[in-house]
Structures are given as structure tokens and as C-alpha cells.
Chain A
């Protein structure tokens, strides 16, 4: 059985960034396994720009960002990549079994494994929309791939449910392809997308946005013929009497992303509530020794730049562990999100003597302005940061210097200061 320092499951931006970081941190034998026909993951279908400002200090398209990540690992004898290869299982003892048409079924042994499988889209079934099951109901991502990579349109007259970034981006994309986007419906009273996408994807194309609205029913038996829309109350329940119909041949769903953790769960990786991804420490190690996780498989990100940042952390520590250079942890600290912070990754810190720099990735529970984020331990505020704007859709990051982490014990909380 082939032995690798680091085996990486998934060749999207997370996997590629992890591979590059593992290489830079001394790993000598790295394997990246990708199920698609080429590296780059979902970025290859995200042809719009807006990627890379943090990580590459330059605005790139999705394929552009993927290209940069690929270029960084290409032609490095230490890094081997396999495409068109599906990982079927990862075991606790870091054996990774995969299959592809050329090699058939094979198993490799990792000294460490990094899980970077990304996420998938929620479907119609998850939101239980009434109606028939006609052709013409697609997740936004599936439609995006057909339009941007395969050369087919999902329809001509479009309604989009969900105003997350994917929904907004697809509204513009379909408009540029000459389709008519009839409406975007959003069950929340606010958009879940970036402001810039609201402006350039909806306002620029005069596409109506119905906030606090949902789709009650999909009409049409064989192909979508329209949708029935209704206003929702504060509890997100439809308000009787507010129903109206919109004609369309296609419904695109952008109703959330779910970290894809079937492999992790089968391996015995502990999954955290709310993020629905592995519970990881600041080094992105899961509860299973030597198995790391990073990117959208841990928690859904809004910016690929943060995926890369996080994957670099995982890549670094996986490489150090593979070489036997991991500084042992002596102090375990639980991280609890409180007061307006809904999720925080990492969920636990395993700190060495003298502490270690830690970056927290958080999501807020509701939109707010001018708030103070606090990290507390035993009633004492360790770190503070003033945030001009918080939105549930936008990740909040906070760097904690090593010296501050050295002061932590048992448990810290991260939350917004009461106003």
C-alpha cells in the first residue's frame, strides 16, 4: 500500500491550498484526490469575479482563482494529483479507498488525512415545496454548471428561490444569457447575499426581489409552468390571502448549502451542531488523530479566500504531524459562541505551552451594526474587535495572538457585547 505524508480528499480550493501549505511545511509525499474530471472544484463553474482579494490580493474569477491554486501545486514532485477519482471511504487509521476507471479500486495509507470535500446544495425535498415533480426545478449550482461549463440552459423564464450569493449570481448569469429572470424570492426579511451582488446582479437588471416571500407551490406536471408565491410572517409561515402566481419554466433553488460529510461520519469524525461539519481544533484536526478538515466541509464559507486560509492551517499542521514535528498540546479550551454569534470554528483549542496564534471564523445570528466582538475567559475579556457591520451571510474573522491564548483555560466564549 502506498504511504503518503498527507492524503487530501477533494481537489477544490480547500484541497489545493492544503496541499500547497503541506508542501511548504515540509511534507514530502502528498496526494490530492479529486472526483471531477479536473482540479479546481466548484470554482471552475463560478465564472464571475470577486474572488481572491484577501488571499491573492487581486480580484480574480472563479476559474482564475482555481488556476492560481493549481499553478501553485503543479510540477511539484512532492504533490501527486488524481482526477476522475472518487474516494469511497476513509478509515480511522487513515486508509483512503478510492476508485477510478484506470486504476480501479485502490487504497492508500496517509500518515495524515485532510478532508476537503466541500458542500452541496439543499434541494427542493429539504424545504418540502408543494406541487408536482416536473422538469425545470434545479439547484442553482447544477444549473450554473450546465450554463457555464456544458453549454445548456435550464430554461428561458426563470424564478429563483433564495437570495444567497449563488441565487443572485445566477440571476445575472441567466439575464446575460438572454433569459428572463422573473423574480427572486427570499423567505428572510433581508437578502442573504453580498451587497455588491444585490447591486450588480439584481438592481442592474431590474429583477424584482420579494423579501419575506416563499414559494408555496410548483405548477406544471411535466415541465414547470409557474410558481405560487406568498408572503410569510415573522415565523416564516405563509400569510393566507397573499398568494400570487408567477409564470416561469424554471425554478432555481438557492436555499442553502450543507457540508458534505458522509465520508467523515463513516470514518467516525464527530460532527458539530449548527455548522454540520467536523468539530475541529485551531489546527483543523478533528476528533480523530491525524485526520484534519478544512473549508466548506467544516462550515460553509462566503469567501473562497477564507477557505484557502483555513486549508493552509490544516495543511501546515498535517505536514508537521506527518514529520513528527507537531508541538504537543497541553491545554484544552472549549470555544462557545454566545450573544449574537451563532457558530464559531474552531470549536475547541488544543494549545501548546506558551499558546499558539488562533484565528476564529464566526457567523452572526442576525444582521447588526456597530457591535463589539469579545472573547472572554472566566469573565475576563481577552480580545475585543469593533465590527461596523455584521450579517449572518458574512463570515467574521478574529485573530488571537499566541500570548492571549496562553491565558486561556477550560473554556472561552465569543459573543457580541450587549448594547
Chain B
């Protein structure tokens, strides 16, 4: 039996949690304040995942950039690849908050959506 101490990152509380592993597999967690913490702890020792926020380029908007966010967590090891891919994505205004900008990014089963609305300033 092995224990791992980690800080939860699911919300700003940053609970300190102790994860118990049996034969390298997740067994139990203590110290979390909510079920999200427990899910994070299990995922962190088996398949660590992260949210991704970045920007894509936008044409016709008030700004040249549109902020985007992953609709769900992505494999931690793929975050850099996803960010690099999104650097080359160009969309056209108008966009609504929540619009899917890139569906199923890199085949990972997660959509990339717009964080905000942006009108077309030329309309």
C-alpha cells in the first residue's frame, strides 16, 4: 500500500488530499471536500487530465483573438499539442459563447468552445 499527497485543482479551495494506492491502483482518498475532488484524485493517479484555455484567431471581430476553452478535461500529455493546433485555427465572427470552435480536438473526444461572444464589427 502506498499513499500520495496532492492538492486538488478542481476549484480554488485547493484541498490537500491523501490518495491511497493498492498495487499501483487507486483505492481511497481523504481530505477532499466534494465529490469532484475524489474524481480528480482518482484521475490524477491513473489518467491525469486538465482543462485547456487558449485563443484562436478570429476575423471580423472587435478583437483579433477569440478565447476558447475545452468543454471537458483533456489528457494532460496532449495539452501542448492541442494548444499548438489551436494557434493555427481561424474563425469568422460572429461567434456566440459556447459555440463549438473545434469539435473533437485531435480525436480526443472533447470539443473546444468559444468562451465569449464576439459580434462581427463589419455587419
Contacts and interface: CB of A to CB of B under 8 A. Distances in A.
A302 B53 CA distance: 20
A63 B100 CA distance: 16
Interface of A: 37-38, 44, 47-50, 53, 59, 61-64, 66-67, 147-151, 175-178, 194-196, 198-200, 204, 302-303, 389, 394
Contacts of B79: 176, 204
Nearest to B9: A196
B8 A49 contact: no
A148 B55 contact: yes
Contacts of A148: 55, 65, 67
A256 to B, nearest CB: 19
A49 B87 contact: no
A196 B12 contact: yes
B65 A37 contact: no
Contacts of B84: 178
Interface in B20-53: 50-53
Contact of B12 (A150, A204, A302): A302
B115 A196 contact: no
Q: How large is the interface on B (under 10, 10 to 19, 20 to 34, 35 or more residues)?
A: 20 to 34
A194 B14 contact: yes
A195 B87 contact: no
Given A49-B69, A148-B65, A150-B65, A178 B50 contact: no
Contacts of A151: 57, 64-65
B11 A53 contact: yes
A33 B119 CA distance: 21
B66 to A, nearest CB: 9
A150 B55 contact: no
B108 interface: no
Chain B CB within 10 Å, residue with most, of A178, A196, A204: A196
18 contacts: A44-B116, A47-B53, A47-B115, A49-B53, A50-B12, A61-B53, A61-B67, A63-B97, A64-B97, A64-B115, A64-B116, A66-B116, A148-B67, A150-B64, A195-B16, A196-B11, A200-B50, A303-B12
Contacts of B106: none
A241 B51 CA distance: 42
Contacts of A389: 16
Contacts of A150: 63-65
B88 to A, nearest CB: 12
B9 A200 contact: yes
A363 to B, nearest CB: 15
Nearest to A195: B14
Given A176-B54, A196-B10, 18 more contacts: A37-B62, A47-B54, A48-B53, A49-B51, A50-B12, A53-B12, A67-B115, A67-B116, A148-B67, A149-B63, A150-B65, A151-B65, A176-B52, A194-B12, A194-B14, A196-B12, A200-B9, A204-B76
B105 to A, nearest CB: 14
